[in-house]
Amino acid sequence: MKVTLLQRDILWADPKGNAAANEKIIKENPGSDLYLLPEMFSTGFATTPDGIAEKADADGECFTLKWMKKQAKENACAICGSVAVDENGRFYNRLYFVTPDSFRQYDKHHLFTYGGENERYSAGGERRVIVEWRGVKILLQVCYDVRFPVFVRNRLTGSGYNPEYDAIIYVASWPASRVAAWRKLLPARAIENQCYVLAVNRVGKDPACQYIGGTMLIDALGNTVAEAEEGAECAVTAELDMEALARFRSKFPVLKDADRFSVL
């Protein structure tokens, strides 16, 4: 699977402006199976969402979800990123995974209390969301979720050595002041779950924070396969080698020895 990660300097509270900028980058990087955008990529990370979060129209969909559907169809791809959504006065940090024919959504489970996200947003439920796209099973996660390994723990399903997912997506607005933690947590999640990690963070500034990126694709051994330039608005493209992942899992089946307590 060919993946393009878009490391964006997000325009504040401007869904249409961000859509146009994202569309330009996608056109400049054609042919990927999946395009990945940062957390709240249509507005910036708005902990005070009134007047900023996107409301559904008469069709029950916000502007950015409609734009994602259009891009997925026109480019025969999947597109993924989180959006601040106003659902009848109740706010969600909602990750959409959109394909040409359908979409799935995941509402951020671990809200960032330190930044006040929990005061205005509603947390997603305790069920994880795993999507399958072109033969790859992907767990959907948002930013702060990366600090909670029990919630994302991979597990075996069915007979044989069959992990529940092959990759984790993390979309983020992770500030420069804590980027060292981001860079350490991502390889840990890849190693302990024997999977790829696809992580995209923003650059630039918003009213509260400075961002320098740290967008990267990491393999199951914790190696960085591809990484965006620090501090720069750019796109980086790389391949998921599913045959190599299968060989590694077969050779070193560590998940067989995992604890058997229940995970969500």
> Among 143, 164, 195, 227, which one carries the catalytic annotation?
143
262: confidence class by pLDDT, cuts 50, 70, 90 = low
Classify residue 10: in a domain, yes or no.
yes
pLDDT of residue 58: 82
Percentage of residues of the chain with pLDDT beyond 90: 94
Based on the residue annotation, tell me whether 251 is a catalytic residue of this protein.
Answer: no
What is the per-residue pLDDT across 219-252, written as a single tens digit (0 to 9) for each? 999 999 999 999 999 999 999 999 999 999 999 9
pLDDT of residue 140: 98
What is the per-residue pLDDT across 163-191, written as a single tens digit (0 to 9) for each? 999 999 999 999 999 999 999 999 999 99
Classify residue 56: in a domain, yes or no.
yes
Q: Is the pLDDT of residue 260 over 80?
A: no
261: confidence class by pLDDT, cuts 50, 70, 90 = low
Count of domains forming the chain: 1
Classify residue 202: in a domain, yes or no.
yes
What is the per-residue pLDDT across 31-85, written as a single tens digit (0 to 9) for each? 999 999 999 999 999 999 999 999 988 888 999 999 999 999 999 999 999 999 9
Full-model pTM: 0.97
Tell me the average pLDDT of the chain: 96
Q: Is the pLDDT of residue 263 over 60?
A: no
Based on the residue annotation, tell me whether 66 is a catalytic residue of this protein.
Answer: no
Classify residue 263: in a domain, yes or no.
no
pLDDT of residue 158: 87
Based on the residue annotation, tell me whether 143 is a catalytic residue of this protein.
Answer: yes
Classify residue 264: in a domain, yes or no.
no
Residue range(s) defining the domain that contains residue 50? 2-257
Closest CA to 129 of 95, 85, 91: 95
Q: What is the DSSP string of 62-76?
A: -HHHHHHHHHHHHHT
> Among 69, 108, 195, 227, which one carries the catalytic annotation?
108
What is the per-residue pLDDT across 120-163, written as a single tens digit (0 to 9) for each? 999 999 899 999 999 999 999 999 999 999 999 999 998 899 99
CATH number at residue 113: 3.60.110.10
Average pLDDT estimate for 81-99:
97
Could you tell me where the DSSP H helices lie in the chain? 15-28, 63-75, 117-120, 149-152, 179-193, 242-251
> Among 39, 54, 117, 164, which one carries the catalytic annotation?
39
Q: Which residues contact 147 (CB under 8 A, 6 or more apart)?
A: 110, 181, 185
Cα 120 to Cα 140: distance, rounded to the nearest angstrom: 22
19: confidence class by pLDDT, cuts 50, 70, 90 = very high
Classify residue 262: in a domain, yes or no.
no
Phi-psi region of 140 (alpha: psi -120 to 50; beta: other; left: phi over 0): beta
